[in-house]
A and B are shown apart, each in its own frame.
Chain A
Amino acid sequence: MVTIQVFDPALCCSTGVCSANVDQNLITFAADADWVARQGGRVERFNLAQQPLAFAENVAVKEFLERSGQEALPLVLVDGKVALAGRYPRRAELARWAGISVPIAQAAPSGECCSGGRCC
């Protein structure tokens, strides 16, 4: 089974302390990752602020940080190899790496930004 590892930037408290605006991409990705897991795929996430050792001990990740800095995260590795950097993967991409087929209807990520007419 393929292992997808996502190295997240130092996300601080879910209170959104990092930014006054909540990042919709994060929420969408959390849902997509969950979907992959339920389909039998394996997605592991590591947060720079909480598991810095995981970043330090992985050569590819460490070198990426040195070269491009933490602003370039998230970094996605598939079976240890760099697959994507600088944004979160879409559901279709996750499915492809994990070898899951995606029905067309579900392929579009839940991209509604505004719930209840309010901007996020």
Chain B
Amino acid sequence: MLFLEHAPAFLFFTGKGGVGKTSLACATAVRLAEEGKRVLLVSTDPASNVGQVFGVTIGNSGKAIDEVPGLSALEIDPQAAAQAYRDRIVGPVRGVLPDAVVKGIEEQLSGACTTEIAAFDEFTALLTDRALLGGYDHIIFDTAPTGHTIRLLQLPGAWSGFLETGKGDASCLGPLAGLEKQRTQYHDAVQALSDPERTRLVLVARAQQSALGEAARTHSELAGIGLARQHLVVNGVLDENDIAGDPLAAAIFRRERSAVAAMPDELRDLPVDHVPLKAFNLVGVPALRALLSDQTLPSAVATVTRLPQAPDLASLVDDMAVESHGLIMLMGKGGVGKTTLAAAIAVELASRGHPVHLTTSDPAAHLSETLHGTIGNLEVSRIDPRAETERYRAHVLEVKGSKLDAQGRAMLEEDLRSPCTEEIAVFQAFSRIIRDAGKKFVVMDTAPTGHTLLLLDATGAYHREIARQMGTNGPHFTTPMMQLQNPARTKVLIVTLAETTPVLEAAGLQADLRRAGIEPWAWIVNNSLAFARPVSPLLKVRAANEVAQIDVVASVHARRWAVAPLQAEEPVGIERLRQLARHEQPIIEEGRHVRTM
């Protein structure tokens, strides 16, 4: 494996949730320790199963793993770090300033950006503490800071006039307010990150177009800051030998191979490793050893004898169609399949005779091109997220930036590179169409997070007060936020995959929405292998692993849910989208014919 050779002191693994960063980081740690090095493994994985993987309890200071001499591990809980960060800022004024004020400040500091900054704060200690560094040859991290975070901390404007004198002008620096260490320490940390002699960045992706696209973007961002020494690992690749006559496996193999062949240009010059999809669970040291070598372990023998009783997408649409209009919003992390599912839902609703307006941010335009004009009452609008974001940025820069000095303008530009900006730009582009939700179904394939919605609704707290005072007798008025909070008008669907980290991330999105007073209406578990009826032994093992996560969704997180099976071919076109919405064959449970197409 190229990414393991001549490893420098710091190794960072980066990639979307669920691609396998933690497994790879653990396997790397084991490999290096068994080569005689002293290794510290740092995990910020929300699923935080490093402890489970090694069978020990890990805390926030280095704990030796007995089974692997030379290896220690520690966990950083990003949510706890963010809370501690918030408390540093808000703590002194809790109980002193009015509660509404305190809550408002906390919300400002409750977004992803703040969590990123808080995590970076923790990383900085590990990257610059000489005493610590003296004790280890390698420190391995299973996540990496984003380009945005690093750039924010590099801006001179981030430091002068604010942290130094505390009397700067009111530009956005909220997330940086809780940083306590000396500026030089953060500077040193960023230096360490961009020094190829000391740091190697490993981009982890699956063999899928969206994952590789994401990796390419991350690569460019970080290379732009000077983190040039990067590797690519394509993880979980289905091997030809595992197809075993299964048409689904054959289709997956073909799709993965063409995704890798078509990988974005920015990635082509990187050293690449492929890690095959394994049939065994990545728990325990022997499994970790086998992950990065050609060793095989006895496969977990698993057959999904009883698929959990699961509703399909069509049955969810039955419930949605009870009202004759409304806003349907799909939310979820990038790459889970929101665009496709939105199209499937739109087709289902339109096929039942309802007027539907589908708004999509589909980057490839396949979906929208193939749907438009096909069903009489289905209208499709497509927006280009990148173009909208650029337009929004240019507008804000022009209006706000013209009066700022060079430093202020640099800060504003960086602010506008935050992920929230795209959320808002896209939402604004869609919002003209939202008005239609009073007369027809409007289906949106993406939406801002609860946090962003709260910040957008600056007068939300005020409106709540007014509404409370007026009770039910006052005149009826609605803010956009109130519309989103009203389940009769808006149904939010959370989309996830049947894997640990994606489910946890989706639960985080749900918590965020609840904070904004929006209760998600249903969850959709997408791309399920279990419901795609695999035949090959390898895929059956993977399918069996999904069941536990589907149970978690059904019993813990969702009040209503559905499962959409993995499709052999990309579901483009009406017929394929209808297939996505139904569990094709009869699900036989205990000899009873439960449901058929």
Contacts and interface: CB of A to CB of B under 8 A. Distances in A.
A14 B395 CA distance: 12
**B interface majority secondary structure:** helix
A106 B226 CA distance: 46
B452 interface: yes
A101 interface: no
Residue among A18, A116, A120 having the largest count of chain B Cβ atoms under 10 Å = A18
Given A15-B416, A20-B456, A48 B104 contact: yes
Contacts of B403: 27, 30-31, 34
B455 A17 contact: yes
Nearest to A30: B403
Contacts of B428: 20
A118 B394 CA distance: 13
B333 to A, nearest CB: 20
Contact of B172 (A11, A33, A116): A11
Contact of A115 (B109, B169, B399): B399
A52 B174 contact: no
Contacts of B102: 52
B174 A50 contact: yes
Q: Interface extent on B, as a size class? A: 35 or more
A11 B105 CA distance: 10
A33 B418 CA distance: 28
Nearest to A8: B170
Contact of A15 (B98, B108, B402, B421): B421
A80 interface: no
Contacts of A45: 167-170
A47 B396 CA distance: 20
Contacts of B416: 14-15
Interface in A79-105: none
Nearest to A33: B169
Interface in B392-425: 395-396, 398-400, 402-404, 411-412, 415-416, 418, 420-421, 424
Contacts of B415: 13-15
A18 B109 CA distance: 13
A71 B168 contact: no
B589 to A, nearest CB: 49
Interface residues of A, number: 43
A49 interface: yes
Interface in A4-41: 8, 10-20, 22, 24, 26-27, 30-31, 33-34
Nearest to B416: A15
A111 to B, nearest CB: 13
Interface string B449-471: 00010011010001000000000
Contacts of B402: 115
B399 A22 contact: yes
A62 B97 contact: yes
Which of A13, A51, A54, A71 is most buried by chain B, counting CB atoms within 10 A of its CB? A13
Nearest to B405: A34
Contacts of A34: 403
B483 to A, nearest CB: 15
A115 B462 contact: no
Nearest to B409: A14
Given A8-B170, A12-B174, A44-B167, A18 B396 contact: no
B90 interface: yes
Given A49-B104, A65-B97, A14 B411 contact: yes
Contacts of B92: 52-53, 56
B398 A47 contact: no
8 contacts: A8-B170, A12-B174, A17-B456, A20-B428, A45-B169, A46-B167, A49-B174, A50-B174
Interface of B: 89-90, 92-93, 96-98, 100-102, 104-105, 108-109, 162, 166-174, 177, 395-396, 398-400, 402-404, 411-412, 415-416, 418, 420-421, 424, 428, 452, 455-456, 458, 462
Given A13-B418, A14-B172, A30-B404, 17 more contacts: A14-B416, A15-B415, A17-B424, A18-B455, A22-B400, A30-B169, A30-B170, A33-B169, A45-B170, A49-B104, A51-B166, A52-B102, A54-B166, A55-B101, A56-B97, A115-B398, A120-B399
